[in-house]
Chain A
Amino acid sequence: MNVDAVMDYDEVMAAYEPVIGLEVHVELNTASKMFCSCSTSFGAEPNSQTCPVCLGLPGALPVVNAAAVASAIRIGLALNCSIATWCRFARKNYFYPDMTKNFQTSQYDEPICFDGHVEVELDDMVFTVPIERAHMEEDAGKSLHVGGATGRIQGADHSLLDYNRAGVPLIEIVTKPVTGCGAKAPEIARAYVGFLRDMMRALGVSDVRMEQGSLRCDANVSLRPHGVTTLGTRTETKNVNSLRSVERALRYEICRQGAILASGGKVKQETRHWHEDGEYTSAGRSKEQAEDYRYFPEPDLVPVAPSPEWVAELATTIPPSPTARRAQLRQQWGFSAAEMRDVVAGEALDLIEATVEVGCDPQAARKWWMTELTRRANALGVSLDQVGVTPAQVGEVQALIDEGVINDKVARHVLGLVQAGDGSPRRIVADHGLAVVNDQSQLQAAVDQALAENPDVAESVRAGKVQAAGVLIGAVMRQMKGQVDAQTVRRLIEATLTD
């Protein structure tokens, strides 16, 4: 439960400037772990993906996974970082049961990537986020606390340990303090994490599923009175596991810190825990009592010294940044800025791109994904890419429309059947007899019948009251069970009346 006083956001902004800093952990999707050949796949039976090395058994030694180093360098290049010509791993020493060696093999003062920056978009503005470093490290195992009400260690009877995740390669990306964001700081943070997610996906180095923990974010923020150049005391909020939470957690922390400072208090440097359900943070361990990690260079590993040739080769594999890619696609597709923003916010960019790739008109692709399919995804409570319709199927539906085989209304019905698993759109149209009727005699009979049943309406249309034709069109459509194109019906009615 939230126990802290909070201040109105705008009032905080009137007096203080927020400075944010983000630490993002990206779990790499290499086939094997950072220092051994165990599989990294998610969801396997507990402790089935372990060996003497990742279990930290006495005598076992780590060997660096070259694929993970390649991913680290590619990430660094994508973030405009310098790549170290020589760097070492370091041991971060602390005791915790989910750490098999009771030290984490990480990097300390010699990160493989350093001094970069990225440009993130927010409301048509481009904001530069400075990157301090991106370094390699290994993940810890997972503890499962059994017997307590909360699933947390307090009150648990015992704990189970799963080391499948122990040793999975991580890249930690740390920003420099980000200043000058003003009131937009939480949104910029969200846009930055979204940028990283899209960039990692484009690089193909991670699954970046925040809900599975393959992208994790710790959000730092401090406040300082306007005009002051030194940094205030910061807090670090953990458990921020969605883009939305990044923004909300920072906004909350700003309001909480604002209330403390405005009342003459001092912000305590500490770790805070974000509560997704109640939308507040609570105090974790205090940084003043923080452990001394006793970092020192990892003596079991030789230094990593990527050759300039290798780095140059990796540089040729870096895709355009999400910001650049959006600008390029927007131009190609002829979308307005607002349309593009909605597409990005709606997580539809990749889906539209894939739909366009199978030959669909970009605007048509946008329309299907942003309206009908978004509605269906929302109804199911799933993300758009989990809606059960593929870009290829959307492309096929649009092709059927373009060929005049079906109309919009039927197309929506077809998408529903595709979603239900009835097969491909063409198959569904054939099996269910959904093709638009082009038999002129059947259609002429329906038109004649409608005119005969509505002589008054027919008369007013003939007299020039064109909008009245809607009644006649509706009658024909009903008669034809909708399997006919409305424009065709209108033309036929007009033709019949002017005969």
Chain B
Amino acid sequence: MTDLTRSSAAQLAQWIATGQVSSVEVVQAHFDRIAQVDQAIHAFLSLDYDRAMATAARVDAKRATGEVLGPLAGVPVAVKDAFTYEGLPTTCGSKMLEGWMPPYTSTVVRRLIDADMVILGKTNMDEFAMGSSTENSYFGPTHNPWALDRIPGGSGGGSSAALAAFEAPLTIGSDTGGSIRQPAAVTGTVGVKPTYGGCSRYGLVATASSLDQPGPCARTVMDAAMLHEVICGYDPRDSTSVNAPVPPVVAGARRADITGMRVGVVKELGGPGYAPAVERRFAQAVDVLTGLGADVVEVSCPHFQYALPAYYLIMPSEVSSNLARFDAMRYGLRVGDDGKNSAEQVMRLSRGSGFGAEVKRRIILGTYALSSGYYDAYYGSAQKVRTLITEDFTAGFESVDVMISPSTPTTAFRLGERVDDPMAMYQADLATIPSNLAGNTAASFPIGLSDEDGLPVGLQVMAPPMCDDRLYQVGAAFEAAMEGSWGGPLLNQIKETAR
């Protein structure tokens, strides 16, 4: 029989809908796969076997009665451990929240449940989504299925590795500065950051509120589009949620035609800092797009060069405030509560012990940037840069429909290679950060392997706010064009975790 874990979500959904295979079988196959490989990959922080199997059985029973179910009913999905889901811990990869059982469920997870999808468990991440390698997870790093000594990207490395290791056909991520797209790029998978406000943040533990955005991760463009339609859409519980219909992303993926589409290559997202092998692969991708009938031009976004420094002021500022609530008073880790220490001392000891080095670094940075006397120079200036970057996008999108760049400057680097060099680590998000600052939508699609190290390279596609469907249109067109030369999905070329 076909290996169910190798199938796309769309294929699985169809088989389940037509009764060719049961949801129980599909879900069991994925738990089997997890049992087989996750010791080496460490994509998961928790599994929800009993509830998942019960849900799958319920979906099968509903289908047996002839009930018409949603397009992804019965299909398994894994969720980044930053989203609350009653009944499973939400740790955010932090000692601070080890074992914390949230008393409520996030909107994204609620929508998965309402769509009759089956949640396998929660995936690994850098602590509180701060990092580009999952090495900041208190629970240990995730390994890249393409090469186990390589990083799977971050912060959502667990979600991307679970896809690349065929442990889940779909996963949920969250993207603050590239935490969906960078892991997608380095694992040869698809990751989409919807327009800011397109997907509800309710129940996503905040890293930086004005930048965070949940989104779909998948192995194919259509799978991502289908998941996108399940999780996105207006939510009255999130005041920043956009009250408008979800862009027609499945239709965009189905259309897969970019004839006459104006594509802008962002001049500033390339050159120094970008690996030549990545640039070569990117140039070939540009040729493919041209060959597909796209009208490719160069666009300049002069303020993008300031995106990284602006981001590392705004992001830590919001972090310093968002993470203040972890004070051991109501939930989470409590250290030093010996009856003698004051509440303030317990707070101090708990925060000192519960947060890792990178989280502390950003809290300190942000606290400083917001301080009286420094606010204007740091946070204030960064907000001005943010406005200029948004204006660069607006101006650019007047002449092109989408902009493109390499998703990351390099392919997956080695575990441990950058842990002692925060600046080098931050460079991993060089190309992805501008879209978080501006709030537009962006995605990473696999475009092939590096001719140097044989590791995946990603193409970043950026579109104006609420034009998320354009991303899928480009991604699907590219995917269709490459399937022939790749002999199927790029991930089929993976060797490290092959059975």
Check: A95 CB closer than 8 A to any chain B CB.
yes
Q: A296-B317, A302-B240 are in contact. Are A52 and B325 (CB under 8 A)?
A: no
Known A-B contacts A63-B236, A95-B347, A101-B324; the reply to A57 vs B103 at CB < 8 A is yes
In the complex formed, the residue of B with least CB distance to A89 is B239
Mark B276-293 against chain A: 1 for CB-CB distance below 8 A, else 0. Answer: 000000000000000000
CB-based nearest B residue for A98 = B329
Given A58-B90, A95-B344, answer yes or no on A299-B210 (Cβ-Cβ < 8 Å).
yes
A93 to B205, CA, bound (A): 18
B372 interface neighbour in A57, A95, A292, Cβ under 8 Å: A292
> Which of B100, B103, B209 meets A52, CB within 8 Å?
B103
Considering the chains assembled together, what is the distance between the CA atoms of A482 and B379 in angstroms? 83
Cβ contact within 8 Å between B372 and A294: yes
Contact B83 A59 (CB under 8 A): yes
What is the interface of chain B mostly: helix, strand, loop, or mixed?
loop
Q: Which residues of chain B have C-beta atoms less than 8 A from A59's C-beta?
A: 82-84, 90, 102, 106, 201-206
- Which residues from B are CB-within-8-Å of A295? 370
Is B234 positioned at the interface, with any CB of A under 8 Å from its CB? no
* CB-based contact A60/B97 at 8 Å: no
Cα–Cα distance between A301 and B237 once the two chains are bound (Å): 11
Q: Is the CB of A93 within 8 A of B102?
A: no
**Would you call A296 and B238 a contact (CB within 8 A)?**
no
What 0/1 readout, one digit per residue, does chain A (320-359) give for beta carbons within 8 Å of chain B?
0000000000000000000000000000000000000000
A205 to B331, CA, bound (A): 35
- Chain B proximity mask over A51-80: 1 for CB below 8 Å, otherwise 0: 010011111111110000000000000000
| Interface flag for A195 (CB, 8 Å) | no
Do the beta carbons of B321 and A93 come within 8 Å of each other?
Answer: yes
Q: Do A294 and B371 touch (CB < 8 A)?
A: yes
Determine the chain B residues whose CB is within 8 A of the CB of A60 once the complex forms: 104, 202-203
Interface positions, chain B 181-221, Cβ under 8 Å from A, are 201-206, 208-210
A301, B205: Cα distance in complex, Å? 16
Measured between C-beta atoms, what is the minimum distance from B466 to chain A in Å?
Answer: 16
Q: By the criterion CB–CB under 8 Å, are B239 and A302 in contact?
A: yes
A57 and B102 in contact (CB under 8 A), knowing A62-B239, A93-B324, A294-B321?
yes
Q: Are B321 and A57 in contact (CB under 8 A)?
A: no
Given contacts A59-B84, A302-B240, are A161 and B202 in contact (CB under 8 A)?
no
CB-CB under 8 A from A214, the residues of chain B are none
Within 8 A of B (CB), among A149-166: 159, 161
Cβ < 8 Å to A, chain B residues 356-378 = 367, 370-372, 375
- Point out the residues of chain B lying under 8 angstroms from A444, CB to CB: none
Judge if A372 is at the interface, Cβ distance under 8 Å: no
* Contact between B239 and A300, CB atoms less than 8 A apart: yes
Find B324's partner among A61, A63, A102 (CB 8 Å cutoff): A102
Across-interface contacts of B75 in A (CB, < 8 A): none
Which residue in A55, A57, A100, A299 is a CB contact (below 8 Å) of B209? A299
- How many chain A residues touch B (CB < 8 A): the figure is 29
Contact of B344 with A57 in the complex, beta carbons under 8 Å: no
Q: Fill in one digit per residue for A91-115: 1 if any B CB lies within 8 Å of its CB, else 0.
A: 1010101001111000000000000
The answer to whether A97 touches B240 (Cβ under 8 A) is no
- Bound-complex Cα distance A100 to B326 (A): 9
Near B by CB (< 8 A), chain A positions 291-309 give: 292, 294-296, 299-302
A159's nearest neighbour on chain B, judged by CB, is B343
* Min CB–CB distance A163 → chain B (angstroms): 9
Is A58's CB under 8 angstroms from B97's CB? yes
Q: Which of chain A's residues have a CB closer than 8 A to the CB of B317?
A: 296
How distant is the Cα of A97 from the Cα of B203 in the complex, in angstroms? 22
Q: For residue A35, which residue of chain B has the nearest CB?
A: B239
In the bound complex, do residue B325 and residue A102 qualify as a contact, i.e. CB atoms below 8 Å apart? yes
Q: List the A side residues contacting B210 at CB < 8 Å.
A: 299
Contacts of A97 in B (CB 8 A): 327, 329, 343
Interface residues of B in 87-119 (CB under 8 A from A): 90, 92, 97, 100, 102-104, 106
Contact flag A63-B237 (CB < 8 Å), given A57-B331, A294-B367, A300-B206:
yes
Residues on B with C-beta less than 8 A from A62 are: 239
Q: Are A57 and B104 in contact (CB under 8 A)?
A: yes
Cα separation A100 to B329 with both chains bound (whole Å): 9
> In the complex where A61-B237, A93-B321, A103-B321 touch, is A52 in contact with B104 (Cβ < 8 A)?
yes
State whether the Cβ of B330 lies closer than 8 Å to any Cβ in chain A: yes
Taken together as a complex, chains A and B put the C-alpha atoms of A221 and B201 apart, in Å, by 45
Minimal beta-carbon separation of B234 from chain A (angstroms):
12
A147 CB to closest chain B CB (Å) equals 11
> Does B318 have its Cβ within 8 Å of any Cβ on chain A?
yes
A34 CB, nearest partner CB in chain B, Å:
12
Question: Bound complex: CA of A301 vs CA of B327, how far in Å?
Answer: 23
In the complex the two chains form, what is the Cα distance from A56 to B102 in whole Å?
12
Shortest C-beta distance, A242 to chain B (Å), equals 31
Whether B204 lies near A294 (C-beta < 8 A) is no
**Cα A63 to Cα B236 with chains together (Å):** 8
In the complex, what's the smallest C-beta–C-beta distance from B133 to chain A, in angstroms?
A: 23
- Measured CB to CB, the closest approach of chain B to A178, in angstroms, equals 27
Taking CB as reference atom, which chain A residue is nearest B317?
Answer: A296
In the bound complex, CA of A55 to CA of B83 (Å): 17
Counting chain B CB atoms within 10 Å of each CB, the highest count among A60, A100, A301 belongs to A60
Among A63, A64, A100, A294, which residue has its beta carbon within 8 angstroms of that of B325?
A: A100
Q: In chain B, what residue has the closest Cβ to A92?
A: B321
Least CB distance from B158 to A in Å reads: 18
Which residues 309-343 of B have a CB within 8 angstroms of A?
317-318, 320-321, 324-327, 329-331, 343
A61 vs B327: C-alpha distance when bound (angstroms)? 18
Q: Closest residue of chain A to B331, judged by CB?
A: A57
Chain A residues whose CB sits within 8 angstroms of the CB of B324 once the complex forms: 93, 95, 101-103
Q: Looking at B236, B326, B343, which has the most chain A CB atoms within 10 Å of its CB? A: B343
Please tell me which one of the listed residues B202, B331, B347, B370 contacts residue A61 in the complex, with CB atoms under 8 A apart: B202
Chain B 163-195 interface 0/1 with A at a Cβ cutoff of 8 Å (1 = within):
000000000000000000000000000000000
**Which residues of chain B are near A302, meaning CB under 8 Å?**
239-240
B148: min CB distance to chain A, Å: 32
What is the distance, in angstroms, from B325's C-beta to the closest C-beta of chain A?
A: 5
Roughly how many angstroms separate A103 CA and B370 CA in the complex, as a whole number?
13
Residues from chain A with Cβ under 8 Å of B237 in the complex: 61, 63
| Given A58-B90, A58-B97, A58-B102, A91-B240 contact (CB < 8 Å) | no
Centre residue among B82, B203, B329 by max chain A CB count within 10 A: B329
Chain B proximity of A323: nearest CB distance (Å): 39
CA distance A234 to B324 in the complex (A): 31
**Cross-chain contact A299 with B203 (CB below 8 angstroms):** no
- Cβ–Cβ contact A63 & B239, under 8 A: yes
The residue in chain A whose Cβ has the minimal distance to the Cβ of B210 is: A299
In the complex, what residues of A have CB within 8 A of residue B205's CB?
Answer: 58-59
Interface residue from B82, B209, B330 paired with A300 (Cβ < 8 Å): B209
Give chain A residues whose Cβ lies under 8 Å from the Cβ of B204.
Answer: 59
Q: 1/0 per position for A414-428, CB-CB distance to B under 8 A?
A: 000000000000000
- Complex Cα distance, B203 from A7, in Å, reads 59
Q: Which residues of A contact B202 (CB under 8 A)?
A: 59-61
Expressed in whole angstroms, the Cα–Cα distance for A295 and B373 within the complex equals 12
Residues of chain B within 8 A (CB-CB) of A57 are 84, 102-104, 331
User: Is the CB–CB distance between B84 and A58 below 8 Å?
Assistant: yes
- Asked whether A93 and B370 contact (CB < 8 A) given A59-B203, A61-B201, A101-B325, the answer is yes
Can you add 6 more A-B contacts, CB < 8 Å, to A58-B97, A95-B327, A161-B329? A57-B102, A58-B326, A93-B320, A294-B320, A296-B375, A299-B210
15 A-B pairs in the complex with CB atoms less than 8 angstroms apart:
A57-B84, A57-B331, A58-B84, A58-B90, A58-B206, A59-B102, A61-B237, A62-B239, A63-B236, A63-B238, A97-B329, A101-B324, A102-B327, A103-B324, A300-B206
List residues of chain B with CB under 8 Å of any chain A CB.
82-84, 90, 92, 97, 100, 102-104, 106, 201-206, 208-210, 236-240, 317-318, 320-321, 324-327, 329-331, 343-344, 347, 367, 370-372, 375, 379
Going nearest first, the 10 A-B pairs with the smallest beta carbon separation are A102-B324, A299-B210, A294-B370, A299-B209, A58-B205, A59-B203, A292-B372, A59-B205, A101-B325, A52-B104
